[in-house]
Amino acid sequence: MTHSETFPVTENTRLRRLPRRGSYDHAAVHAILDEALVAHVGFIGSAGQPVVLPTAFARRGDVVILHGSVVGRLMKTLAEGVPLCLTVTLLDGLVLAKSAFHHSMNYRSVTVFGHARLVTGANEKEAALRALTERLTPGRWDALRPVTAKEVAATTVLELPLLEAVAKTRSGPPVDDAEDLDWPVFAGVVPLSMVAGDAIPA
């Protein structure tokens, strides 16, 4: 896959407002997915109720891997191949303008539309679980107590092919109205980032 490849612009992914914030480049989508730690997955539950649940995930090539207990609602529903939407958001800063109207947030988000498919086969499932572990803690998988067949069987693993996706980004300073620039209040960006503290041994 090269950086020049792009996802198609579809009715789902076309940005109606502020299209300049959007990108359909595979590389842009992948980079955001690879930095985010949590995805929010939306599906239609019973009685037509939309449901949004947070979950860990990992991208591997052209698919997003999801996993969970075989008895959980999220995995059971998604395994049926229902339409889903997976969104990840990296919050980069609070954008403080001279007027409330121009306040904003700096962020990078990706929204993926599609259907998940069940990963079957113990080897394929184990490879996916390995990817989930390794993306967060590279090199750790081989040091862990090996997974058992029973554990693999108790875990549902799903793949969401990346076929329809869009990245959205807002960055940089506030964009104030020209006549407000001298208003006597701070304007600028408060950077936000997720940081890891010192590990706490169990």
Among positions 5-24, residues that touch its own copies (CB under 8 A) are 11-12, 16-17
Edge-to-edge strands, sheet with 83-96? 22-23, 164-170, 104-115, 83-96, 39-44, 50-55
- The three state secondary structure string of 27-60 is HHHHHHHHHCCCEEEEEECHHHCEEEEEECCEEE
Q: How far apart are the first and last CA of the chain?
A: 41
In the complex with its own copies, which residue's Cβ is closer, 34 or 69? 69
| Segment contacting its own copies by CB under 8 A, of 27-35, 58-66, 116-124, 191-199 | 191-199
Rule CB under 8 A: which of 117-176 touch its own copies? 129-130, 133, 136-137, 140-141, 143-145, 147-148, 151, 154-155, 173-174, 176
Q: Which of 1, 51, 122, 153 binds its own copies (CB under 8 A)?
A: 51
Q: Which stretch binds its own copies (CB under 8 A): 1-9, 24-32, 58-66, 91-99?
A: 91-99
- Binding residue (CB under 8 A) for its own copies from 1, 122, 153, 194: 194
Task: Give the span between the Cα atoms of 167 and 26, in whole angstroms.
Answer: 9
Specify the stretch interacting with its own copies by CB under 8 A; choose among 1-9, 25-33, 51-59, 116-124. Answer: 51-59
- Which one of residues 28, 32, 41, 66 is an interface residue with its own copies (CB under 8 A)? 41
Tell me whether strands 164-170 and 22-23 are parallel, antiparallel or unpaired. antiparallel
Nearer to its own copies, 4 or 178 (CB): 178
Does position 28 interact with its own copies (CB under 8 A)? The reply is: no
Q: Kindly indicate which of the ranges 23-31, 58-66, 78-86, 116-124 contains the residues binding its own copies, using the contact rule CB under 8 A.
A: 78-86
Q: Which two tokens stand for residue 164?
A: 């329809």
Question: Which residues have a Cβ under 8 Å from the Cβ of 131 and sit 6 or more positions away?
Answer: 58, 60, 65
Q: Alpha-carbon Rg of the chain, whole angstroms?
A: 20
Please give the backbone phi and psi of residue 90, each rounded to the nearest 5 degrees, phi first: -105, 120
> Residue count at the site for its own copies (CB under 8 A)?
85
Within 104-123, the residues that bind its own copies by CB under 8 A are 105, 107, 109, 111, 113
